[in-house]
Amino acid sequence: MNPHQVTIYDTTLRDGTQGEGISLSVLDKVRIAQRLDDFGVHYIEGGWPGSNPKDIEFFQEAKGMCWKSAKISAFGSTCRANLAPEQDSQISLLLSACTPAITIVGKTWRMHLKEVLRVTEAENRRMIRDSVRYLKSHEKEVLYDAEHFFDGYREDREHALSTLEAAAEAGADVLVLCDTNGGTLPHEITEIVSDIVARFSVKVGIHTHNDCELGVANALAAVGVGAVQVQGTINGYGERTGNCNLTSIIPNLQLKLGFNVVPDLSLLREISLFVDELANCQHNIRAPFVGSTAFAHKGGLHANAVQKNSRTYEHIPPESVGNYQRIMVSELSGQSTVVLKAAGLGFKLEKGSPEVSAILEEVKRLEHLGYEFEAADASFDLLIRRVLGISKPFWELLEYHCTYIHSVRNKFESCEATVKLKVNGCDNYTVAEGDGPINALDAALRKALVPIYPTIENVMLDDYKVRIIDGSMGTRAKTRVLIDSTDHHETWCTVGVSDNIIDASWLALADSYEFKLKNIDPT
């Protein structure tokens, strides 16, 4: 392994959410941060404190959490023109986030000074220098993001260097060079980063965007000439065409260049799929390393050769990044993935055993129907229990019914659900109203279960996501529902699929309560 360290700075929760169609709840952000921490990412940028209620709440949650290895970083800008940092409310909010690291962005491009900030070059350097120095006086690790650095360098090298000098003189721990517009080519990155690394004793980082499909290539070029931090997002989320994709840059750094970046790279695909599910985004099946077709082979010479020696058409072992080989014209391979995921849930299974084969067959059957278990660990746990014959029958569903009335004339709206279960050999019939059919179903099910299983009362549904599968089917398309639940001690996710959104919701809802009860004796 390469003895030098390259740190990974994840900005999925801030820069990533600036991408079109990307939205994360506070719970989503917390869950993603926890997964990133488990994965071994060095820095997790939580957002911009004070910019919106979700970021404020995230930092409040983060304060009380124990992080294994990652440093949580708050993001903001330098102090405003003609204002001392201690008088700037935005700087105060950065400190109030109580994070060990703070990243501040400053202007490097003279065009921005003239047309956006409308400040002198001297005042811009003062804003950078004073902001970094003030944050360092509060014993923070300070990362200085030089926005539009490469554009600024090309236009006026000396001015761009002077802004970095201001940050370095004030004690910045890392100088991050940002290709904000994503228009720089790898040979330019190599030339410019080499100049900066030779000139400054401070660590240099790289933050690239993917507008020319060069985000990863440019980051690798920077590391090749001395950059020691890479900033990016999971799955390349970000504004416009996205940011440097961490699911591509990390395996390239670790497997191709020998940097010891994360402790267990085999978790890469799992975290990629997990983030996609929480962001309610369709996974890119052709994504390098983590996509479902990354190691897929279809017919002819390729399929024949790869079954004899996988190195013939695979540049790395798929399992090294948590993926698996697929032979499209024969059976799908995936037992290693099942064993690994089952082990994470507490099940000890042997590859090649009848139990693993049966689980894999059930997974394939359900995935054909539209199920995805990457983020729905609780439903996968229950699937394993059902296949192994160790699931517990807490109730039997006899029927449910939902009624929704919307009277325009009388300005009246109501929703009612009835649920009929067999519990402990007895029929149990409950009726409840709610704000919509799913809320009413949930209320009716809880009404039936809480008297028998009181622990259900502590369960809250935290999030509810709906995804249309095969939208070309129009209103006949199947629906996948993900439900996040919590009992204030742990959080779990369940999934249901049906061509009826209410039924898909019921399946996810029922799994949620069954998962909560799994360690209770139903008798």
| Same domain? 373 vs 399 | no
| Cα angle 12, 16, 19; round to 5 | 165
| Same domain? 368 vs 489 | yes
**Residue 334 pLDDT:** 60
Q: Which domain holds residue 412?
A: 395-452
R_g of the chain computed on alpha carbons: 26
| Same domain? 505 vs 444 | no
Q: What is the mean pLDDT of the chain?
A: 89
Three-state DSSP at 223 gives helix
| Same domain? 244 vs 373 | no
User: Is 94 within the bounds of a domain?
Assistant: yes
User: Is 301 within the bounds of a domain?
Assistant: no
* Cα atoms in the 13 Å half-sphere on the side-chain side of 478: 14
- In 115-173, which ranges are E strands? 141-147
Which of 200, 357, 374, 361 minimizes the C-alpha distance to 282? 374
- What's the structural domain count of the chain? 3
User: Is 510 within the bounds of a domain?
Assistant: yes
With b meaning 16 or more CB within 10 Å and e meaning fewer, what string describes 206-243?
Answer: bbbbbbbebbbbbbbbbbebebbbbbbbbbbbbbeebb
| Parallel/antiparallel/unpaired status of strands 478-486 and 460-469 | antiparallel
Three-state DSSP at 265 gives helix
pLDDT tens sequence across 371-412: 888 778 899 999 999 999 998 889 999 999 998 887 787 777
Write the CA distances from 322 to 172, 264, 299, 315, 345, integer angstroms. 37, 9, 24, 14, 16
Q: pTM for the complete prediction?
A: 0.69
Query: Is there a contact between 449 and 464 (Cβ–Cβ < 8 Å)?
Result: no
| Same domain? 384 vs 409 | no
User: Is 151 within the bounds of a domain?
Assistant: yes
| Same domain? 225 vs 149 | yes
Which CATH number goes with the domain that contains 153?
A: 3.20.20.70
pLDDT tens sequence across 215-252: 999 999 999 999 999 999 999 999 999 999 999 999 99
In one-letter notation, the amino acid at residue 17 is: T
| Same domain? 517 vs 402 | no
Low-confidence ranges of the chain (pLDDT < 50): 300, 328-333
Which residues are 7's β-sheet partners?
A: 229
Query: Is there a contact between 123 and 82 (Cβ–Cβ < 8 Å)?
Result: yes
Both tokens of 467, joined, read 């995804």
pLDDT tens sequence across 142-198: 999 999 999 999 999 999 999 999 999 999 999 999 999 999 999 999 999 999 999
Which residues are 415's β-sheet partners?
A: 404
Q: What is the largest CA-CA distance in the chain?
A: 82
Of the three residues 433, 452, 471, the one that is the final residue of a domain is: 452
| DSSP category for residue 324 | -
Which of 35, 9, 39 minimizes the C-alpha distance to 99? 9
Which CATH number goes with the domain that contains 484?
A: 3.30.160.340
State CA 265 to chain mean position distance: 16
Query: Is there a contact between 125 and 162 (Cβ–Cβ < 8 Å)?
Result: yes
User: Is 2 within the bounds of a domain?
Assistant: no
In angstroms, rounded to a whole number, what is the distance separating the alpha carbons of residues 342 and 88?
51
| Same domain? 387 vs 365 | yes
**Residue 462 pLDDT:** 83
| Same domain? 75 vs 36 | yes
Secondary structure (H, E, C), 340-377: HHHHHCCCCCCCCCHHHHHHHHHHHHHHHHCCCCCCCH
Of the three residues 242, 263, 284, the one that is the final residue of a domain is: 263
pLDDT tens sequence across 338-356: 776 788 788 998 888 999 9
With b meaning 16 or more CB within 10 Å and e meaning fewer, what string describes 379-410?
Answer: bbbbbbbebeeeeeebbeeeebebeeeeeeee
User: Is 285 within the bounds of a domain?
Assistant: no
Both tokens of 195, joined, read 């100049």
Three-state DSSP at 84 gives coil
| Same domain? 520 vs 428 | no
User: Is 277 within the bounds of a domain?
Assistant: no
Of the three residues 452, 480, 496, the one that is the final residue of a domain is: 452
In angstroms, rounded to a whole number, what is the distance separating the alpha carbons of residues 400 and 480?
19
For 5, phi then psi, to 5°, come to -95, 135
For 165: left if phi > 0, alpha if psi spans -120 to 50, otherwise beta; the answer is alpha
User: Is 344 within the bounds of a domain?
Assistant: no
| Same domain? 407 vs 385 | no
Which CATH number goes with the domain that contains 428?
A: 3.30.160
| Same domain? 231 vs 214 | yes
Sign of CA dihedral 21, 27, 29, 33: negative
- In 389-510, which ranges are E strands? 396-407, 412-423, 426-433, 460-469, 478-486, 491-498
